[in-house]
């Protein structure tokens, strides 16, 4: 049975139709994968205690029970609110989040040991704050599933999303609200809390891009000329990509945020290509990226410094290149199998809990463990694209594609910077790195992907006339 409702005669009552209703899947696969995901995070957390003190961390079993309870609540919520959704998305996100919490705790322990050696008070543990943000992120995931029962409703707010997204992007520029950290003005601080609004802005702008391209994709797909085998769009249709380019350059100029600038522009170009299928948009986007990068290199000292460090990381290993060189040394020390959780020295890398947590994982889990983490990210992107292919509406396809692509592009930018493949940009690794705003935003991304996949997999009802005396038969898939 593949349809939601079928008609068949009842035995002994010729001509009397039977309504056959297909129930949602029991989601047993998700349950098994969630158990494995919890084992990854809790196993890494236990290993931190065993490596440093020879025993499990304090209150380990209490924490494990709480973690299992929170994940169980999330599973039940998905089962009730999105029963047909993808059964792999939630477990993979839980595994990455749990591994990130364990690694941040491991770095907290290293910070406390160093502070004790220097006869200083230990700093406040970051893992506890990240744990609170994890709970908030899961709660918001459930809230999004509860409020957004149909992803197509979001298309009504296309231009509202545009205004809100741009407002979030420029919010750090507001005097007495935005703060500058490490040379980038991408944070706002209020009521004692710091938040990075660009993390939410990327989600809101994806909604805008998807809604806009649904309406304009036919016009944007028209090509007037062909240059070197590539269809070039009409000049009057270049407005959207030029606006996106100017916004990304504005973020780079005024907020000095190279990562967000690259992410937003790359996101729009990718969605434009998916919507129209025209390679010309990719060519034009690449050209504008090169123009903007060249301008930024000669106009801004911090961009030029990052590019110089990228090209010559060992020219000043104790100064500007210290962070990158320490990251490369840590990855080399990890080798194939790694030094083991708690056995390396990932705390020697500045910002190992946030920007360079991939380096910490590579040192302690080795190339094998780092590849395993990248495979988990690849699975997230693949399941997001699968949800896009299964979507029955164009808006849902573009929305899921944008959400999957932003996850993949962000991982590429971060890992590329850590391994010196590209210049360091300052973006954080989804689910792994310390940072509340990024973690909350990523759980919202998972919620929207679950909603789109649920709509795509839900059987469409078949209009069959059923008499009032019909018999209802329920079958399992």
pLDDT tens readout for residues 325-380: 999 999 999 999 998 998 888 988 988 998 899 999 999 999 999 999 999 999 99
Stronger pLDDT, 278 or 474, i.e. the higher one: 278
**The two three-digit tokens of residue 253, written as one number:** 């100029």
Q: Is-contact 16 471, C-beta < 8 A? A: yes
Confidence of residue 302 (pLDDT cuts 50, 70, 90): confident
Q: Is 14 part of any domain?
A: no
In a domain, 464, yes or no: no
pLDDT of residue 236: 62
Q: Could you tell me the two tokens for 101?
A: 């919490």
Percentage with pLDDT > 70 across the chain? 85
Which residues form the domain of 171? 25-83+85-457
DSSP state of 122: P
* CB contact at 8 A, 220 and 268: no
Number of domains making up the chain: 1
Residue 104 pLDDT level (bands cut at 50, 70, 90) = very high
C-alpha dihedral over 72, 77, 83, 87, to 10 degrees? Answer: -40
102: in domain: yes
Categorize the per-residue pLDDT at 224 as very low, low, confident or very high, splitting at 50, 70 and 90. low
| 470 domain-assigned | no
Two tokens, residue 344: 């390396």
The pLDDT-based confidence of 234 (bands split at 50, 70, 90) is low
d(CA 362, CA 340) in angstroms, rounded, equals 10
Secondary structure percentages of the chain, helix, strand, coil, to 5: 65, 10, 25
Contact indicator for 57, 122 with CB cutoff of 8 Å: no
Angle in degrees, CA 208, 212, 215, rounded to 5: 150
Tell me how far apart the alpha carbons of residues 94 and 442 are, in angstroms, rounded to a whole number.
11
* Residue 136: pLDDT over 90: yes
**DSSP structure class, residue 223:** E
Determine the Cα angle at 232 with ends 266 and 273, to 5°.
Answer: 35
* Residue 238: band (very low, low, confident or very high) from pLDDT cuts 50, 70, 90: low
Q: Which residue has the tokens 């890398």?
A: 349
Round the average pLDDT of the chain to a whole number and report it: 85
Task: Give a yes or no: residue 54 inside a domain.
Answer: yes
DSSP bridge pairs for 190: 193
Query: In this model, does residue 92 exceed pLDDT 90?
Result: yes
Q: What is the DSSP letter of 156?
A: G
Question: What pTM did the predictor assign?
Answer: 0.89
Amino acid 359: pLDDT: 93
Residue 265, pLDDT > 80, answer: yes
pLDDT band, residue 16 (cuts 50/70/90): very low
Kindly state the tokens that stand for 119. 């006869």
The residues, any chain, with a CB within 8 Å of residue 363's CB and separated by 6 or more, are 330, 331, 333, 334, 338, 339, 344, 345, 346
Q: Are strands 9-10 and 13-22 parallel, antiparallel or unpaired?
A: antiparallel
- The C-alpha angle with vertex 437 and arms to 96 and 357, in degrees rounded to 5, equals 45
- Strands 184-190 and 178-181 turn out to be antiparallel
Taking the C-alpha atoms of residue 172 and residue 185, their distance in angstroms, rounded to an integer, is: 6
Q: What is the token pair recorded at 68?
A: 């299992």
Residue 250 lies in a domain: yes
pLDDT at position 301 is: 80
With beta carbons less than 8 A apart as the criterion, state whether 374 and 189 touch.
no
Does 15 fall in a domain?
no
Instruction: For residue 407, name the pLDDT band (cuts at 50, 70, 90).
Output: very high
Close Cβ partners of 337 (under 8 Å, ≥ 6 residues apart): 366, 367, 368, 369
How far apart CA 39 and CA 67 sit, in angstroms, is 11
**Using 50, 70 and 90 to split pLDDT, how confident is the model at 12?**
very low
pLDDT tens-digit series, residues 314-340: 988 888 889 999 999 999 999 999 989
How would residue 426 be classed by pLDDT, with cut points 50, 70 and 90?
Answer: confident
């Amino acid at each position: 049975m593949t349809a939601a409702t079928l008609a068949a005669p009842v035995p002994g009552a010729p001509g009397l139709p039977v309504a056959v209703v297909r129930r949602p899947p029991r989601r047993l696969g998700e349950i098994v994968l969630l158990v494995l995901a919890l084992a990854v995070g809790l196993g890494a957390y236990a290993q931190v205690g065993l490596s440093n003190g020879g025993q499990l961390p304090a209150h380990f079993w209490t924490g494990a029970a709480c973690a299992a309870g929170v994940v169980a609540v999330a599973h039940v919520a998905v089962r009730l609110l999105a029963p047909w959704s993808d059964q792999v998305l939630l477990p993979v996100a839980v595994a990455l989040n749990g591994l990130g919490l364990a690694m941040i705790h491991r770095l907290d322990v290293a910070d406390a040991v160093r502070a004790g050696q220097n006869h200083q008070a230990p700093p406040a543990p970051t893992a506890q704050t990240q744990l609170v943000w994890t709970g908030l992120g899961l709660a918001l995931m459930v809230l999004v599933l509860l409020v957004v029962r149909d992803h197509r409703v979001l298309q009504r707010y296309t231009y509202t999303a545009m205004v809100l997204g741009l407002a979030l992007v420029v919010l750090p520029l507001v005097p007495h609200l935005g703060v500058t950290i490490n040379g980038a003005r991408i944070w706002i601080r209020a009521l004692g809390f710091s938040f990075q609004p660009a993390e939410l802005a990327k989600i809101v702008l994806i909604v805008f891009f998807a809604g806009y391209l649904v309406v304009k994709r036919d016009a944007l797909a028209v090509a007037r000329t062909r240059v070197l085998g590539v269809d070039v769009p009409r000049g009057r249709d270049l407005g959207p990509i030029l606006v996106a380019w100017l916004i990304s350059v504005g973020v780079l100029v005024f907020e000095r945020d190279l990562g967000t600038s690259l992410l937003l522009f790359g996101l729009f170009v990718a969605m434009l290509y998916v919507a129209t299928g025209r390679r010309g948009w990719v060519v034009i986007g690449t050209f504008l990226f090169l123009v903007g990068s060249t301008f930024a290199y000669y106009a801004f000292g911090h961009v030029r410094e990052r590019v110089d460090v990228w090209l010559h990381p060992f020219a000043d290993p104790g100064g500007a290149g210290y962070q990158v060189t320490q990251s490369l040394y840590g990855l080399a020390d990890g080798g194939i199998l790694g030094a083991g959780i708690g056995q390396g020295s990932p705390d020697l890398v500045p910002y190992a809990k946030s920007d360079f947590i991939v380096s910490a994982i590579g040192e302690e889990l080795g190339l094998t463990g780092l590849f395993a983490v990248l495979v988990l990210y690849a699975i997230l992107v693949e399941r997001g694209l699968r949800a896009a292919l299964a979507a029955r509406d164009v808006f849902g396809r573009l929305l899921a594609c944008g959400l999957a692509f932003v996850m993949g592009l962000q991982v590429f930018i971060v890992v590329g910077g850590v391994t010196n493949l590209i210049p360091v940009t300052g973006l954080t690794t989804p689910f792994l790195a310390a940072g509340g705003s990024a973690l909350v935003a990523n759980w919202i991304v998972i919620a929207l992907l679950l909603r789109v996949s649920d709509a795509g997999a839900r059987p469409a009802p078949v209009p069959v006339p059923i008499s009032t005396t019909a018999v209802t038969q329920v079958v399992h898939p």
